[in-house]
Amino acid sequence: MNTEDQDTRWMNVAVKLAEKGVGLTSPNPCVGAVIVHENQVIGSGFHEKAGLPHAERKAIADGTARGNAALFADSTLYVTLEPCSTTGKTPPCTEAILEHHFKRVVYGSQDPNPRHRGAAADILGRAGIQVTRGILEKECDHLIRGFRLNMLEGRPWVIAKSAMSLDGRISRSPERSQWLTNEKSRSFVHTLRAECDAILTGGNTMRLDNPSLTIRKPDRPVSSLKEQPWRIILTHNAASIPADSVCLTDEFRDRTLIVENVSSYLELLKNLYNERKTGTVLLEAGGCLVREFLKAGLVDEWVGFYAPIITGGGADGVTGGSFLEREAFLEQPVVSIFGSDVCIRGDVSYR
C-alpha cells in the first residue's frame, strides 16, 4: 500500500472511533484519533464528553498506558478533525502533540471554529512535524456537520424524523395499532434519539400520543455517559399538556421543558444552543410543526420511515397547503431497510 492508501485506511479507523462519540460530545464535535507506528496501531481514542480529554489526548494516554510512548516520535497521529490550538476546558492538543514529538500528523476536517481554523498546521509545521490534511475529508466533515452549523450559525443541527404510510400519512384510524412502523424502525428511532441533545415535539403529539421520548430500546449499544435528551414541548398553552403525561412524570421529568407561544423557531433554537448546549436537536412532531420548520429552512437533516401500508387518510407527515417557497432536497439520501419498512435519510438543502 502506498502512503495515500495507508492514510485512508487509518483515517477510516479514526472515523469509526469518532462515531462512538456521536450524541455525547455537545457542544464539542465528535473526534477520533489513532497513533500508528510501522503499520501498527499503538494508541487510539475518541472524544467522549465535553470536559473530558480530546481524542488526541485520549490516544496519547492509551499509547502511553500500553508502553508505546517511546515510539511516538517515529509515529503518525491520525485525527478526524484538525487538532485544537487554544485552551478551552482542556489545554490545546497541539501542545500535547509537540510534547511527544510526533513525526507526522494527518487530519481530515479543518476546524470550523474560527479560533482554531488552519492554525494547527502552522504550529505543528514550525516544529518540524509533517502535516497532511483533507484525508477522508467528506467522511470527517459529515461527522461534524452539526458542530459546523453550531459554529457558523449559533444554532443546533435539526434532524426531522417522520414515520409515514406509503401515502405520506402519520396516523391510522383509531381502532388500529398506534404504530405504522415496525419494532425495528422504532428501535432505530431510539438510537437516533441517542444521537441528539434534545427532542422537540408539539402539544398535539403530547395530547394524542403521550410519548416518553426516551432511549429505551436502541438498536445499538448506547454509552453510559449518554444523558436523557432534553424534551422540549412547544405549545400555545402549557396548561393544555396533561399533567400526567409521561414526559412530565417519569424519572427524567427534570429534562422536560414546556415552551409557550414561540414566535421564532430560529430564536428558540439559538436559545437552546446557547443555554443548554444542544448541538443536535431531533424534531419528532406532527405535520404542522414539521412544515413550520421546513418553511423556516430549519430542517437540516431528514429521516423518513415508510411503512408498507396505504391508509388513504389521516394526518399528513408534512401538512399541505401552498408549496414550500424553497423545496427541501435530500442530498445523497441513504436508504436503510428495517424489516418491511424503508428509511430514507439525508442532509437537506433548500432550493
| 216 carries a ligand binding annotation | yes
Segment lying near a second copy (by CB under 8 A), choices 139-147, 181-189, 216-224, 333-341: 333-341
H or E, element range at 247: helix 246-249
Segment lying near a second copy (by CB under 8 A), choices 42-50, 137-145, 202-210, 321-329: 321-329
Residue 304 binds to a second copy (criterion: CB under 8 A) = yes
Cell of 351: 432550493
Smaller CB separation from a second copy, 84 or 303: 303
Closest approach of Cβ 62 to a second copy, in Å? 40
Residue 32 binds to a second copy (criterion: CB under 8 A) = no
Which residue is associated with the grid cell 434532524? 159
Residue 169 binds to a second copy (criterion: CB under 8 A) = yes
| 284 carries a ligand binding annotation | yes
Strand partners, 347: 301, 331
User: How far apart (Å, rounded) are the C-alpha atoms in residues 265 and 278?
Assistant: 14
Residue 288 binds to a second copy (criterion: CB under 8 A) = no
Residue 4 binds to a second copy (criterion: CB under 8 A) = no
Q: Does the active-site annotation cover 56?
A: yes
Count the neighbouring beta carbons within 10 Å of the beta carbon of residue 118. Answer: 12
CA angle, residues 220, 212, 162, in degrees to nearest 5: 70
Residue 166 binds to a second copy (criterion: CB under 8 A) = yes
Segment lying near a second copy (by CB under 8 A), choices 12-20, 86-94, 244-252, 335-343: 335-343
Catalytic residue among 56, 82, 139, 301: 56
User: How far apart (Å, rounded) are the C-alpha atoms in residues 95 and 120?
Assistant: 10
DSSP string, 162-226: EEE-TTSB----TTS-S-SS-HHHHHHHHHHHHT-SEEEEEHHHHHHH------SS-SS---TTP
Residue 178 binds to a second copy (criterion: CB under 8 A) = no
User: How far apart (Å, rounded) are the C-alpha atoms in residues 72 and 75?
Assistant: 5
Q: Which of 292, 342, 290, 335 is nearest to 316 (CA)?
A: 290
| 269 carries a ligand binding annotation | no
- Binding a second copy by CB under 8 A: which of 67, 128, 221, 312? 312
User: How far apart (Å, rounded) are the C-alpha atoms in residues 289 and 232?
Assistant: 13
Residue 60 binds to a second copy (criterion: CB under 8 A) = no
Q: Which residues are annotated as a binding site?
A: 54, 84, 93, 163, 177, 179, 193, 205, 209, 213, 216, 284
Catalytic residues: 56
Residue numbers of the site for a second copy (CB under 8 A)? Answer: 164, 166-169, 172-173, 176, 291, 294-295, 302, 304, 306, 308-314, 316-318, 320-324, 327-333, 335, 337, 340, 342, 344, 346, 348
